[in-house]
Amino acid sequence: MARVPFSGRWAAALLAAALLVQTDADAQGRGGTAPASARAAAPRDFAGYWVAVVTEHWHLRMMMPPKGDYAMLPLTPDGRKTADAWDPAKDKAEGAECRAYGAAGVMRIPGRLRIHWADDNTLQLDTDSGTQTRLLRFGAAGATAPAGAASDWQGRSVAQWQGLGGRGGGRATGQLRVVTTNMRPGYLRKNGVPYSENARLEEFFETFTEPSGDSWLVVTSIVTDPRYLTQPYATTYPFKKIGDRAGWDPTPCRADEPR
């Protein structure tokens, strides 16, 4: 993964995600017509392979952060206490090496993504780091979890095209917004910085193409956790599009290595 200066365009993407509040319901009220499926409505093409480009916090993402390093994270006293008690050997013994690869943490781990449509209303995101699969469900498919559904590392992700349609049309015009809940407790940072079972992850996915022809995916992540965070924690992760399967290297979850 390359190390490059943080781009003003990526900073702008973070701001845009924070300010974008228009909903599909608003558009429907103006006379929009819902499309047959989320895939048909898609204003952007996220499909393909993407590699993480580490633009900030390089020493915390490309190397294993030391125990007790939770700089820049708005942790509660309980969050700091839990982070200070991190023990990777215990995670291994408990079969919980994937705690850093849950939905709220996996996007910050250096590696590659594969994104494709699992069906017309489910966008699938696979990571080679930790060999994880996220299912981003649109519409009725994502509205509610089955009764009694157990939490898991990737939780339940409900997806929505922002700015659906306009007068006389049903095609979305904005970003992809994803809200994930029902997550098994995990780590925001690989050195044991925690998020709880009550954490909520909100993400905004955006793409753009440079004049050079390089395509980028920018994911803005906002984690809210009443137990371990004093305020929402927002970060932005850029990915560059690559040729099919170039460098694709599925690896298991690792409790004591950066990747």
Residue 59, number of CB atoms within 10 A of its CB: 12
Question: pLDDT (tens digit, 9 = 90+) per residue, 20-43?
Answer: 444 444 444 344 555 689 999 999
Question: Is residue 151 helix, strand or coil?
Answer: coil
Q: How is the chain split into domains, by residue range?
A: 8-242
pLDDT at 187 (0 to 100): 97
Q: Write down the pTM of the prediction.
A: 0.84
Given a contact cutoff of 8 angstroms between Cβ atoms, the answer to whether 254 and 97 are in contact is yes
Distance CA 101, CA 189 (A): 9
Instruction: Give, in order, the Cα–Cα distances in Å from 180 to each of 46, 147, 172.
Output: 19, 17, 21
What digits encode the pLDDT tens for the residues 194-233? 999 999 999 999 999 999 999 999 999 999 999 999 999 9
CA distance 134 to 126: 6
pLDDT at 58: 81
- For 135-180, what is each residue's pLDDT tens digit? 999 987 666 666 667 899 999 999 999 875 544 445 555 789 999 9
Reported as a single tens digit per residue, the pLDDT across 2-26 is: 444 444 444 444 444 444 444 444 4
Q: What is the DSSP letter of 15?
A: H
Under 8 Å between Cβ of 188 and 199? no
Return the closest-CA partner of residue 246 out of 55, 4, 1. 1
8 A C-beta contact, residue 33 and residue 117: no
* Own/partner pairs, 242-246, CB within 8 angstroms, 24+ separation: 242/48, 242/49, 242/50, 242/51, 242/112, 243/49, 244/48, 244/49, 245/49, 246/49, 246/51
The Cβ-side half-sphere exposure at 48, using a 13 Å CA radius, reads 16
